[in-house]
Amino acid sequence: MQQEKRLRIANCSWGSFSQTLDGNSVVSETAERATKLGLVLVKSAGNEGIKRPGPGSLTIPADARGDVIVVGASSRDSASVTPFSSRGPTSDERPKPDILAPGEQIMSAKPGGGYVKQSGTSMASPHIAGIAALILERYPKLKPMQVKRILMQSAKKLGSSEFDENAQGVGLVDAVKALQLAGQPMEEAEKITPRQAVKNWTLLEQVNITVRNTGDETMQTVKASLVGPDGITVKSAEQNYGTLRVGAEATRDFGIEVPSTFKSPQCKLTLNLNFTTGSGKKKTRPYKLTHQFPSLHK
């Protein structure tokens, strides 16, 4: 029988700015869930340290809870945190990043061929993903929370008091010490009973819905509520679209939770649109939508 192959590690050298860093965005919750399903997920902290100096300059999903590993960038000589490396904490006061890796003038592959030196936390997080791969190659039964613990416990704190835990996390990664620590016996409290597979889980999907005014008068105080079928949970079920002049449009993001027990590859949604016309009349219009999501089953 051929052994099943599955993704063990994902490096996320990307991110987006958010005013709220509480771990509740669709992408951040999805990142957290991925680690619960057995994925070692490594996320760059962001490069907003100069643009938005001070705390809270992370890019989502670096605010994710759970076992997502958030990586800041150290200088080329590994003596300091680079100025561009985003700082924590999250909105709910969790210190971030978790750990540092080299992120200044790193030799990287260039589109079209060749190599180029680049700087950024996107250069730092692949170091952590690569070291995690070395750990799992030698000790494949380790879980994401154990890999994160090993990396953080073996890191070396930078000596300067200039860099607190919201700049450097626990410090600079040490690949050799991490591999040595991975081979040591774990405390009983840290052992995890292995499971053959996760049978029941939930897919968190983001649904982007655009409303356009195709009528002949302004739509004021436009509000929409999304309703799903039985078995589907809608998050952020109500959204405010503001005022839409004739021909104008606006897009809002809704979240839906799809359990693994949901058999259909798509679901029917109803968008109830409420607005006031320019003449003061209040109207409600329902729209039927079909959302296709990735296959939940083989």
Distances (CA, A) of 198 to 50, 195, 247: 42, 7, 47
Residue 282's Cβ-count burial label (10 Å; 0-12, 13-18, 19+) is exposed
Give 278 or 114, the one with higher predicted confidence: 114
What CATH number does the domain located at 9-190 have? 3.40.50.200
**DSSP string over 216-241:** SS-EEEEEEEEE--TT-EEES-EEEE
Q: Is the pLDDT of residue 206 over 80?
A: no
Predicted confidence at residue 276, as pLDDT, reads 94
Query: pLDDT (tens digit, 9 = 90+) per residue, 103-142?
Result: 999 999 888 999 999 999 999 999 999 999 999 999 999 9
* Fold agreement between 9-190 and 202-292: no
Q: Is the pLDDT of residue 284 over 80?
A: yes
Give 188 or 78, the one with higher predicted confidence: 78
Predicted confidence at residue 190, as pLDDT, reads 53
Q: Assign domain 202-292 to its CATH architecture.
A: Sandwich (2.60)
Predicted confidence at residue 146, as pLDDT, reads 93
What does the alpha-carbon distance between residue 291 and residue 97 come to, in Å, rounded to a whole number?
35
What residue ranges do the domains of the chain occupy? 9-190, 202-292
pTM for the predicted model, two decimal places: 0.68
Q: Which range among 21-30, 134-143, 285-294 shows the weakest confidence by mean pLDDT? A: 285-294
267 contacts 226 by C-beta, under 8 angstroms: no
What does the alpha-carbon distance between residue 71 and residue 155 come to, in Å, rounded to a whole number?
12
Predicted confidence at residue 202, as pLDDT, reads 73
Query: pLDDT (tens digit, 9 = 90+) per residue, 154-179?
Result: 999 998 888 999 999 999 999 999 99
